[in-house]
Amino acid sequence: MRVLSLVFSFFILFNAIANAQTVIPKKELAIVIDDLGNNMKGTNELLALDVPLTVAIMPFLSTSTQDASHAFENGHEVIVHMPMEPIKGKKSWLGPGAITTDLSDKEIRKRVEDAIKSVPYAVGMNHHMGSKATADERVMRIVLEVCKENGLYYLDSKTTGKTVIPKLAEELGVPLLENKLFFDDVYTLQHILQQAKKLSEEIDRDDQSIAIGHVGVTGTKVVSMLKEFIPLYQQKAELVPLSGLINEYKYIDKSMP
């Protein structure tokens, strides 16, 4: 009986060790919210959410500095939401300090440097609109060079299939992330909820997922959707800021502006 007991104990111990050595891949999800910086609808509600978000703040606007500080104080990650020229659309939609393809190299560099300085606590950058600018190698080379000089990663929002960002980021050594899904590319709540379900399915397939929503026109709808779906996402993945998806950024000191 004693021998049987010892054998059984050894079996339990062996299984415990085997299970401890089995590494289950940790899934990670980063949720990005664009268009902060101009007191847009849904801003305060989103910043009040008790999960780590990455907030993309447009430079040079009425609440750019305030929103960046509020986000940082609430435990969210801040990136610069750099306005860039689209193929279609009005330049007035871009806001001040936008990057357009008719600018000189010197002016592009100056505008990107000024934008970074205007958004405290920023550790990365993505673009606002930008379907034309992000397909222009001259323009994006300068943008990414400035990002590298300032230690910023870049999120390619993928507003065009002709983006040159991945190629240049690899060449220049800029940490790059790529958006996989927009929650609110169509403004209806029905579509936003469909996209939220699609993201849940994507989490099941992939180890890392990124999705972008917005404040403004869809702001309150995005808040409502996140409140409903975040508990589901948390069952499937760890919610992290974008930098949590980049190995070399996991240990940076984000306590300084």
| C-alpha to C-alpha distance for 95 and 198, rounded to whole angstroms | 32
CA distances 10 to 22, 82, 194, Å, are 18, 60, 50
Phi, psi for residue 127 in degrees, rounded to 5: -120, 150
DSSP letters, 4-40, are: HHHHHHHHHHHHHHHHHH-PPPPPEEEEEEEEESS--
pLDDT at 24 over 80: no
* Residue 153 β-bridge partners: 124
| Chain segment 201-218, per-residue pLDDT in tens | 999 999 999 999 999 999
**pLDDT class of 26 with cuts at 50, 70, 90:** confident
Average pLDDT taken over every residue of the chain = 90
Residue with tokens 């919210």: 33
Question: CA–CA separation, 7 vs 147, rounded Å?
Answer: 61
* 78-98 residue pLDDT tens: 999 999 999 987 777 788 999
pLDDT category at 25 given cuts 50, 70, 90 is: low
pLDDT reported for residue 89: 78
- Average pLDDT estimate for 131-139: 97
d(CA 44, CA 39): 9
- Against a cut of 0.85, is the pTM above it? yes
| Amino acid at site 220 | T
What are the residue ranges spanned by the domains of the chain?
27-249
Which is the CATH superfamily of the domain at 27-249?
Glycoside hydrolase/deacetylase (3.20.20.370)
> 175-201 pLDDT, tens per residue?
999 999 999 999 999 999 999 999 999
The type of residue at 41 is K
Could you tell me where the DSSP H helices lie in the chain?
A: 2-21, 43-47, 64-73, 105-118, 137-149, 165-172, 189-205, 219-236
Q: 119 pLDDT band (50/70/90 cuts)?
A: very high
